[in-house]
Structure 1
Amino acid sequence: MPLARQGRSGASGDSRGGTSDGGRRAGGRGGRGGKDDGRGPRRRMPTDPRRRRRRVLRWSATVLAVLILGTAGAGYLYYQRLNGDLRKDDLNIGDSKDRAAKPKANAAGQTPLNILLIGSDARDSKENQDLGGAKDTYNTAPRADVQMLLHVSADRTNMSVVSMPRDTLLDIPKCTDPDTGTEYAAKTYTIANDSLGRGGPGCTVATWEKLTDIHIDHFIMVDFAGVVSMADAIGGVPVCVDKNIYSHTSQGHGSGLKLKAGTTSVKGKQALQWLRTRYGFEDDTDIARTKAQHQYMNSMVRQLRANATLSNPNRLRQLAETAVKALTVDKGLGSPKKLYDLSLDLKKVPTSRISMTTMPWEYAPDGNRVVPKPEDAAKLFRLVRQDIALDGKDKKKAASDKPADPAAADDEIAVRVVNGTLTEAKGAVQGRAAAVAGLLTGKGFTKAVADTSPAVSEDTTVVRYPSADLEGDARAVAKALGIGTDAVKKSADVSGVTLVVGADWRDGTKYTAADEDDTTPDSADLLNGAKKACMQVDPAYTW
């Protein structure tokens, strides 16, 4: 999977793959000559040769484990030598006040882990140019043509992967290039993969946090050349097509992938072709390409976990050396200990508990791009945010009952009550904020006041607070009204504890939350990591 090392230049990236290339459906190319561009302390080494061999074996798998969802353990000395090859960049270069809140620990003190996997189409070297094609784009701003959010549950029993189609239209926040200081103004309704060219991978992270409200802990990136070298080092990844495929047309469209029906182990350039193929899979859209990437990732995990040749220390060493030369990671991940800890976390998840999904989407009005499908995408992001397993095999995680700061006395808590009952179908309930403010006053929250501003639209009742020192106060308000802790949210949009009375509480003095459906939306197209699958080939591209 082209997770990607970035090659930045001063260009903004807007000229490649913007929204002006009419006539293409989801996953359309961006002006590339017709080519398919889916784009502690030092420990003394043991003197026993057998122990030394085991230690090297464990360590060599460290970086590899990061890529393959945890296949082995770690060691220190060898990594110290390779550390210089590991590229590092800033995690989030958006506005710090807009960052998503960190998830709370569960009862055992564990927290979820979110890693953004990015695949770049950078043409910043001769090798990347040769692999990517489109000579006129050499050393221009890269694009994030593969974006996958990897979520590891707090208890490390399951993992969810959410892919975003590369041509998704969304809002990109203001980002500042950490190297040059260049500021990129916020953009609305623009193509998602442009984020990488607006200062680096930290802007892609900021864009995901803005869209999903999910706190991202780390990112990992690999470029074209990295994909090829990793596929070679692994020894090939089995992929399957239901009929012969040749992704090529007389007009120059296609990745060049040519396979016979059935299962083939792809490596090197052929692996890159698989990951970039749009013309030839299903309906020739970016959505089909995302499915192919999911199948490749699942197959790679199964291959590496079952491959007996990985007991060979020389083979593992080659894999580790190849990986670090291909990777760019955030600075928080660029240390031996962090990589070691991450590999241990990832290796705990069994293949059968890995869930691959695609962000629910629908076509934009012009039919050339896609946008998040409002209710389904929001639901999928909520499940990840609340650490609910997408495979449906876990019970809902309970929120922590211990806020960072205890609540003040009820009569000392200032609460602003907002009328959020406005809907298109029913309009707003007049005086609703005043009524609920009076209800709070009667319960001892004498500083509760109704906001007299016009009603807003809020589907469900929520209590927001701006900072950790007010979380306890917000929870006290919610508890008094029977509102669940999952509806208590940190927000930079409020200056104090704010209760928004939503459309789900239009009347009465008792709040009753609707039972939430925690099943993964069908539109997310869930694929289990242990399932072997075949890509359907468009008959127009068979031979």
Structure 2
Amino acid sequence: MPRRRADSAAAKAAAASPRGHVPDGPPIGRHFTPRHKAPLWLKITAVALSGVLVLVLGTAGVLVMKLQQNVTTAPLNAGLLKDGKTTAPVEDSGSLQVLILGTDTRAGKNSEYGTAAESGGEGNSDVMLLMNISADNSQVSVTSFPRDLMVPIPDCKSATTGQIVPGQAMGQLNSALSAGPGCTVAAINELTGLTIDHFMLADFTAVKELSNALGGVEVCVDHAMYDVDGSFLKLPAGKSLVKGEQALAFLRTRHAFGDSSDLDRIKAQQYFLGSMVRKVKEEGTLTNLPKLYQLADVVTKNLTIDEGLANIPAMVGIATRLSKINLANISFVTVPTEPYVDDPNRVQLKEPSAGQFFAALRHDTALTKPAAKPSTAAVPAKGSSSAATSGAAGTAPSTPAAPSTHAAPAVSTPAYDKSAQPISVTNASAIVGRATEVLQGLASAGFTNSWSGGDVAAANQTKVLYGHDMADVATDVAKLFGIPASAVRSDPAVAGVQLVIGTDWTSGTEFGKIVVPKDIVASTADQSGGCLTVNPLYYTK
């Protein structure tokens, strides 16, 4: 086998060198100068900088790992569908919902506040707050749900045992936590029509340590007080800085403010949160990495969160979004309620106000901004093909999901006789007589074989249901009123087409106009809120 010729530069140099030796370094000649050695100070500086870089990167890695190891997780959504599968997530529209839960469990570090018999395991939800960050980061709403709100509780898969926990046709919302935080997520998703992205579950210890890490939160009461019946909160008249046990007592007291109702307790919690948000924003905590890490360390040690939030980028992402929002656009809301019909000591949703509010949340409608001009560049709601623009509280008109066509359907001539199609209209809007206007719209469009299905319990979302071989008719009915295609669903139990009017459509024959209930916003984070009113039963001299 012929050998390859050695014609490389190295071979030539070896041939020209005594004994075939190839000299080290570049050749010496009149066009070359000897290489200068780097000064000692430059070498020391380079080594030092490299060491600092390695130290910083190593420290950051250790800190991230530490935060990751702090975290306890649970499934985001434990609700079950009819087939036994857990609820599938809906495609995100850019807005972000985080459910913040406070548990009254006495397990573990919380045993000093009572026995496990009072509240063991996951406990019940002492606090339920839904934080909604708009897609454009211009506004935040924090909605409080009363602990004794009566709602349907879905079947759930327990986060601890893996067993199925049967739901209830009507149960106290705070009891859903017994099957894990994912069950509360499922119940509120079902109630509001939203798709919650994350949850945070805090216990008594979390509240104490977070308030300590913040250096206290300022509160004000109109009279010196002492809650001798539970929390043992003791405050002088005027302003106080509360932290640790005192901060926890402020949030836990059930008797000290107003008329001792759960709604007055919610007002006190919103007051505390508003003060805390002002302090965090004023001190620049959300953009100060050392401070943010300190808070993250405290928070992650004492929280249970969903798996999707159990990473540092997700946590930092939420902090970054919150840091950009004006305090005047952070609103505190209590979901509209009224006494529960079967027990006045509990509450139920007040309709249609609650349904209108939930529709505003689904469509990212502003609660604190002045009315905006209609725009086609609206943000779609999660799980919906409709879109809406922002508007002022109380009016808040939005661009409808689709143009109204009640004068003439925006569809080609159907291959069926419209006058022969059976269509029932069921009124679930909580407004007596609401179906009449919609029936007139159907008749004027040629659907004359339509009738009222009567008034039923309020439903928060309008639907168009259809039976066998009626999909085309249902689609045309939806287009007639501008109802989104996502609301059109097959239902074998329906003969013909059934249009269910929800609380998200309270007037007119054009679906998609969002009406925010008047005075829905209790306060905003830029307001000091004055001083809380103390229940006279707890005055001290």
TM-score (norm 2): 0.70
* Change in CA separation of 1:539 and 1:138 when aligned onto 2, cut-off 3 Å: closer
- SS of aligned partner of 2:267: helix
- SS of aligned partner of 2:196: coil
5+ residue gaps in structure 2?
A: 1-48, 387-409
Letter of the aligned partner of 2:194 in structure 1? I
1:484 is the counterpart of 2:482: yes
1:361 is the counterpart of 2:361: no
Indicate if the aligned counterparts of 1:116 and 1:148 stay in contact, CA closer than 8 A.
yes
TM-aligned CA deviation for residue 317 of structure 1:
3.7
1:516-531 matched pairs, under 5 angstroms: 516=513, 518-522=515-519, 524=520, 526-531=522-527
What is the rounded CA distance, in whole Å, between the counterparts of 1:184 and 1:459 in structure 2?
Answer: 25
* Change in CA separation of 1:333 and 1:476 when aligned onto 2, cut-off 3 Å: farther
TM-aligned CA deviation for residue 346 of structure 1:
2.3
What is residue 41 of structure 1 aligned with on the other side?
none
- SS of aligned partner of 1:332: helix
* Change in CA separation of 1:48 and 1:244 when aligned onto 2, cut-off 3 Å: farther
Letter of the aligned partner of 1:490 in structure 2? A
What is the rounded CA distance, in whole Å, between the counterparts of 1:121 and 1:268 in structure 2?
Answer: 16
What is residue 464 of structure 1 aligned with on the other side?
464
Indicate if the aligned counterparts of 1:388 and 1:397 stay in contact, CA closer than 8 A.
no
* Change in CA separation of 1:142 and 1:296 when aligned onto 2, cut-off 3 Å: same
Indicate if the aligned counterparts of 2:464 and 2:489 stay in contact, CA closer than 8 A.
no
Letter of the aligned partner of 1:188 in structure 2? A
What is residue 298 of structure 2 aligned with on the other side?
322
What is the rounded CA distance, in whole Å, between the counterparts of 2:375 and 2:54 in structure 1?
Answer: 41
Say which of 51, 56, 68 aligns to 1:83. Answer: 68
What is residue 221 of structure 2 aligned with on the other side?
241
Residues 83-127 of structure 1, C-alpha deviations (whole Å, 9 max, x = no match):
01111111111124795984774xxxxx211111111111111x3
Residues 162-181 of structure 1, C-alpha deviations (whole Å, 9 max, x = no match):
10111111111111114422
Indicate if the aligned counterparts of 1:76 and 1:336 stay in contact, CA closer than 8 A.
no
**Count of aligned pairs:** 445
- SS of aligned partner of 1:188: strand
Indicate if the aligned counterparts of 2:309 and 2:315 stay in contact, CA closer than 8 A.
yes
Residues 467-486 of structure 1, C-alpha deviations (whole Å, 9 max, x = no match):
xxx9999776544x2x235x
1:436-451 matched pairs, under 5 angstroms: 436=442, 439=445
Residues 424-460 of structure 1, C-alpha deviations (whole Å, 9 max, x = no match):
966987x969x9499478xxxxxxx978996675999
1:29-428 matched pairs, under 5 angstroms: 78-96=63-81, 102=90, 105=93, 111-125=94-108, 127-130=109-112, 132-134=113-115, 136-137=117-118, 139-197=120-178, 199-248=179-228, 253-307=229-283, 315-365=291-341, 366-393=343-370, 395=372, 411=414, 418-420=423-425
What is residue 510 of structure 2 aligned with on the other side?
513
* Farther-moved stretch of structure 1 (226-235 vs 132-141): 132-141
- SS of aligned partner of 2:201: strand
* Change in CA separation of 1:516 and 1:275 when aligned onto 2, cut-off 3 Å: same
Letter of the aligned partner of 1:288 in structure 2? D
TM-score (norm 1): 0.70
* Farther-moved stretch of structure 1 (395-404 vs 142-151): 395-404
- What is the root-mean-square deviation of aligned Cα atoms in Å? 4.4
Structure of greater relative contact order (alpha carbons < 8 Å, 6+ residues apart): 1
Indicate if the aligned counterparts of 1:82 and 1:321 stay in contact, CA closer than 8 A.
yes
5+ residue gaps in structure 1?
A: 1-45, 60-74, 106-110, 442-448, 505-510
* Change in CA separation of 1:419 and 1:452 when aligned onto 2, cut-off 3 Å: closer
Indicate if the aligned counterparts of 1:463 and 1:474 stay in contact, CA closer than 8 A.
no
Residues 276-304 of structure 1, C-alpha deviations (whole Å, 9 max, x = no match):
11211011111111011111111111111
